[in-house]
Amino acid sequence: MAAAAAVYPPLDQRPVKNTVLLFDVDDTLTKPRQLVTPQMLQLLSELRHKCAIGFVGGSNLVKQQEQLGGPVDVTSLFDFCFAENGLTAIRMGEVLASQSFITWIGEDRYKALAKWILHYIADLDIPIKRGTFIEFRNGMINVSPIGRNASTEERNEYQKYDLEHKIRETMVAKLKEAFPDYGLTYSIGGQISFDVFPTGWDKTYCLRHIEAEKGLSGVVYDKIHFFGDKAYEGGNDWEIYSDQRTIGHKVKNPDDTYAQLQELLKSFQ
């Protein structure tokens, strides 16, 4: 794979060195839970010769490796790899300090939250249910009414059902009512689930790592472009998309991302 074999200039020697491009994963760089295309990887490689690039997603690094790297180490394809909104962060292949959701919330409060969620899902009347309704991650939990074990076809069908019946939206509203003092944010993303994390631990969390680059390589990133599809209030791209530190680009799907990036690459020539 050409993208993996390429040698890139150091961050402080990129032609457009004060610019970094950050990407959501699902429905931005890839179709939901699908592999990235060779064409997208090639375009990202061309952009990386010009400026820094990184991804920021809610999933853990294992899932991002599956979608973006495949057989190639995903940390070799991006300068910045931000899993779980940047709570797990890798810069130029080096792991940075991380945060822990369970340490923050405490075992007793987490058990109360998990018990409520599982009871709620048990009582839900939806067409199908599979398994893994709560996925515990380092910096958050991911909640899926249908279960994360659903197949691609089942995910597609559930997404249509959810849009019509607002299953996730209603569940989030009920959670906010049940745990008003927990200091949690509930962020709907992807096709079948939503993330639950401490307020402030959304995708803007990764920006502290971008800003810290000044002390590492001397680069000040004053143009932080972010590309994401869930760039609306309640979507898991909204906070970083609308943050005053970023230049937000709303995309419809990977094809739209590709088209927008081609135009951006032309502007770098």
Taking the CA atoms of residue 74, residue 101, residue 195 and residue 167 in that order, the dihedral angle to the nearest 10 degrees is 150
Active-site choice (26, 79, 202, 237): 26
Q: Binding-site residues for alpha-D-mannose 1-phosphate, please?
A: 33, 137, 148, 155, 193, 195
Determine the Cα–Cα distance for residues 172 and 69; give it in Å rounded to an integer.
32
- Dihedral sign from CA coordinates of 100, 104, 108, 114: negative
Determine the Cα–Cα distance for residues 117 and 175; give it in Å rounded to an integer.
8
SS3 235: strand
Count other C-beta atoms under 10 Å from residue 46's C-beta: 16
Determine the Cα–Cα distance for residues 255 and 269; give it in Å rounded to an integer.
22
**Phi/psi-derived region of residue 208, left when phi > 0, alpha when psi is between -120 and 50, beta in every other case:** alpha
Active-site choice (24, 27, 79, 162): 24
* Residue 256 bears catalytic tag: no
Selection from 153, 146, 160, 137 nearest residue 57 by Cα: 137
Structure tokens at 196: 């639950």
Contacts of 20 (CB under 8 A, 6+ apart): 51, 52, 53, 54, 79, 80, 210, 221, 223, 224, 225
Q: Are strands 80-83 and 52-56 parallel, antiparallel or unpaired?
A: parallel
Q: Binding-site residues, please?
A: 24, 26, 33, 137, 148, 155, 193, 195, 229, 241, 243, 246
* Residue 73 bears catalytic tag: no
| Residues 114/134, Cβ–Cβ less than 8 Å | yes
Determine the Cα–Cα distance for residues 44 and 21; give it in Å rounded to an integer.
10
List, by residue number, the catalytic residues.
24, 26
